[in-house]
Amino acid sequence: MQNLAVPAVALERDNAPDAHAIELRDLTVRFGTGTGSVLAVDRVSFSLAPGEFVSLVGPSGCGKTTILNLLTGLLTDRPEGDVRVLGKSPSAGNPDIAYMLARDSLLPWRTALGNAVYGMEIRGVPRSKCEEQAMMLLQRVGLGDFADKYPKALSHGMRQRCALARTFALQSPVFLMDEPFGALDAQTKLQLEDVLMDLWSANKRTVVFVTHDLAEAVALSDRVIVMSARPGRIVADVRIELPRPRNVRALQKDTTFHKLYARLWSLLEQGMSSHDH
Amino acid sequence: MTTRSRLTIAAHVVFIVAFIGLWELASSHDLLDRTFFGRPSGIALFLWKGFVTDGKLWLELGYTLFGAAVSFLAGSIAAVSVGLLFMVVPRFHRAAEPYLTLLNAMPRIALAPLFLLWFGLGVGSKIAVGCSLTFFIVLSATVAGIRGVNSDHTILSRALGASQRQVFFKVTLPSAVPVIFSGLRLGLIFALLGVVGAELIAAEHGLGQTLAYLQSTFSMDGVMGLLFLLALLGLGVTALMNRLERSLLAWQ
């Protein structure tokens, strides 16, 4: 039960003035040492307000995933600069954070329900509570009838829905998502983005969403941070003034959406060629 | 059952009956030397006598099965334990690997005379041979299974806050089970092989010993009958393991 108390604590902290859910100040990450070292992230600073949905976009190798791994505490190289998640230094297994990857990484020997409870189980949430919560979320993502199916019987889209249920079942106030829909086809992706929006609006978490897909970033986010090619620097930090709640599929026909998309695309292009100057 | 599979079964029955009938016919007309090939009616008579009339084969079968079961259990428990130890202490794994490769490369059946000297004519030496075969097969399967764990699963688990212990029991072990299981299936066959092989060389009891005796006395009906029995035994063991695998690993 202890873990379930986390969001409440986090909310109290969020109410404090100037509280950032996530804060990066002059973050510099270098892989390796000496002459062979590679500068992956160069003096990146940004912060997220509690409940804010922010996407990181940029060309491959711009350090998006590095920043995410740093926030999860999985990065072993010591970075320069200051990183805070809910006021604390990142550490692996921080219950404030839920993490989602591009590949669903469902455990094939567990049913959809077994996978949906997995995160909670690891965090020591009591079994009955886990299952109740997981079942509710499976229904929300449209997998209610598939709770006892093994991943091999589920399609890509269904597996990623199950991963969404596993992530949202964790009561973590901060979500880190690394291209969670990157491996899906275009239609399934739009559906899953709507499922994500639905879950997120019902229970707002602070989300850092890494993606290659600019349209996805614009459709989902409050802000889109555009990064340059390696070494990763921030090229632009654009607020997305689209009203909420959003319907991602409806947005595909929205002119404001397309204008924002075009603007961000030109910024991204600048970023891709920035290292030539 | 579909018509197609029924037809297949019928075809098999026709083939087997024709095969046995031809064999019987050829040996009764002296086209096939009975001293070398036996004859189906003689084989049937031998098995009937061994298992029904005087029942002597039950004892021999019991010795062999007991030896194989003990070899399999001891060999695979040791192998899985060592495999897990390797995972926990990788340095030990690296150090032990060349010796294990060397031992594994040795033809184990050639060690049987040595084991007979060390462990006697009884079931002990048979278990030693069976164990030495099973151990290496299951060990390499265990190592492969543990290596084959999907790194996405471990990364995700660690990011969610799993302890080393949780990662091991909730990710590494279950993901290694199918690979270990296929090692176990092979290990069981090889336990049987090792025991029968050692019995052939020298033993007081067992199907292998009986086989060697019958061979030296030129009772080909008996030899053929036992070979048939051993083949059936191997088949039964494989079927058993397949069944167990299907019920235990339904998620595959």
CA distance A147 to A115: 9
Contacts of A121 in chain B (CB under 8 A): 170
pLDDT of residue A3 exceeding 60: no
Cis upstream peptide for A245 (omega within 30°): yes
Which residue among A93, A98, A121 sits closest to B158, beta carbon to beta carbon? A93
Query: How high does pLDDT run on average in chain A?
Result: 85
The verdict on A94 touching B (C-beta cutoff 8 Å) is: yes
**Residue A39 main-chain phi, psi, to 5 deg:** -85, 110
Contact A122 B155 (CB under 8 A): no
Does pLDDT of A6 surpass 50? no
Question: Strand, helix or coil at B145?
Answer: helix
Q: Which of A110, A123, A151 sits opposite B160 (nearest CB)?
A: A123
> Residue A125: CB partners within 8 Å, gap ≥ 6?
A1, A3, A4, A133
Pick the CATH number of A2-90+220-276 from 1.10.287, 3.90.550, 3.50.70, 3.40.50: 3.40.50
CA distance A92 to A85: 12
Structural domain of B75: 55-248
Chain B residues close to A95, C-beta within 8 Å: 161
Beta strands (DSSP E) in A87-218 are: 97-100, 174-178, 206-211
**Range with the poorest average pLDDT among A65-79, A157-171, B227-241:** A65-79
* pLDDT tens-digit readout, A31-88: 877 777 888 888 889 999 999 999 999 888 788 888 888 888 877 777 888 888 888 8
In the predicted model, what is the mean pLDDT of residues B148-176? 89
Q: Identify whether the C-beta of residue B26 lies closer than 8 Å to the C-beta of residue B32.
A: yes
Distance, in Å, from the CA atom of B4 to the CA atom of B42, rounded to the nearest integer, reads 35
Give me the total of CB pairs closer than 8 Å, taking one residue from chain A and one from chain B.
Answer: 62
Q: What is the domain count for chain B? A: 1
Query: How far apart (Å, rounded) are the C-alpha atoms in residues B131 and B112?
Result: 12
Write the CATH number for B135: 1.10.3720.10
User: Would B32 be classed as within a structural domain?
Assistant: no
- Contact list in A for residue B249 (CB cut-off 8 A) is 109
Residue B67 lies in a domain: yes
Whether the pLDDT of residue B175 is over 80: the answer is yes
Per the rule left: phi > 0, alpha: psi between -120 and 50, beta: everything else, B39 is beta
Task: Look at residue B42 and tell me if it is in a domain.
Answer: no
- B245 chain-A contacts, CB cut-off 8 A: none
SS3 of residue B206 by DSSP: coil
Q: Which long-range contacts (CB under 8 A, 24 or more apart) does A35-39 make?
A: A38/A230, A39/A230, A39/A231
Helix (H) or strand (E) run with residue A25 in it: strand A22-31
- Chain B, residues 162-201, CB within 8 A of chain A, namely 162, 166, 170-171, 174-175, 177
Domain ranges of chain A: 2-90+220-276
Yes or no: say if B198 and B116 are a contact pair by the CB < 8 Å rule. Answer: yes
Residue B9 lies in a domain: no
Identify which of B155, B174, B175 has the shortest CB distance to residue A74.
Answer: B155
- Residue B98: pLDDT band with limits 50, 70, 90: very high
Chain A: nearest CA to B145, how far in angstroms? 14
Residue A191: how many CA atoms within 13 Å on its side-chain side? 13
Record: contact B156-A110, CB cut-off 8 A: no
